Structure 1
């Protein structure tokens, strides 16, 4: 039966009992010395050595080469005293140094300076945190994003038709996920009938969601325009086909140019597919 009275048990005693029960105490004790080694020798020697294992009271340490191993052997008493002080006990009473393979990762080169236009773009991205403690961190993140974009552009990646980020996929993977959102697909259906709703969608769906809906709507409208243009030609230019084609063309242009239908001009028709231009201008 478990003990219910007498107050809470000492957590240290409970931990020792648990470790002993599962035979982990010895392994944890040895791991302490291995983990403490980098702090004992300092960052420079920690890059050139590695505490490998502990057998009994002996800690085995690998060094990069024979010269360093000999130096550490001559200075082992100093390092041993530091290690025992760090551990707070004498669970390690001897250090032995051998030559091993130390994989030293070279320091990363400093980031390349950003051209003035890219620096300004990064500043605009971080402008929301201007004057706060987060601004410096946000600016660094914005510069990193800008450098990543420049790298993708140098690889020959073309801009995503929705978000504009250079990408090998078109649309990019993130926008492909957005395109599958049922809310975005319903919004796209709305835009095929009422393109002037686009600014309201930016508020309700955010700009990325609204642009994804616009992309889907434009794809649907372009297919409809091609079919209507063909029917106009087949029917000999019947008025009702041509009128419907003109209406759909205005919807397509409004979304393409991000311009209200009431402000469209005849010159804007140059943004229509070529076949549709020919039919409307005939």
Structure 2
């Protein structure tokens, strides 16, 4: 029991560092739908996608969609019990009846380069020895999935996208609640009031604001060295948002390059 939590945290850290934690959560929501709907209804329905807390479910016809609206609250309650906070609303899309997909040959995932393998092994070497194999395989799968898609992941939700941030996340960034949270996170990086993609969007905005402050402070500190404590404090909060950890001395490499040589301590 004592090792379950550390292993989960280690895997979550790998996913966060690769920008895929939000994508994994969406996958969990979709995969859980057959259990939420039950054997009979899962034959007539299919979880299609999750956007901004809204789960879209494809159904056989309008009659089925109408009947399922009466079960919406029960479905939401079940999701809340299994995956708290991830599904706030359900919408039903009328489409063709769900059919079993023909089995296809598994597609070989792209191989990792020796450098990528080395970085991945270094990332896992400080985890418990009996968990290193599991964590290594999870991290390898994440990297291979990234290489398979030509578009890099969105810095907020982790979904592959030709635009950064992706269009759904650009919409999130303009929401007043997200902007208020971003302002709060620039001052208190660990006092969060949102969760899921809205929280990640707020963190993204907060990092941008703090980075802009750092670039503005840099020439002032060069002229007025007594402002150095302000620069250090701003850099500390920036790194806490980037690393997700309170202790940031080991994360100076995440600072903008122009600041690294000047900031010996944070």
Superposition TM-score, scaled by structure 2 size: 0.47
| Structure whose alpha-carbon radius of gyration is higher | 1
Structure 1 or 2: larger helix share? 1
1 or 2 for the larger relative contact order (CA 8 Å, sep ≥6)?
A: 2
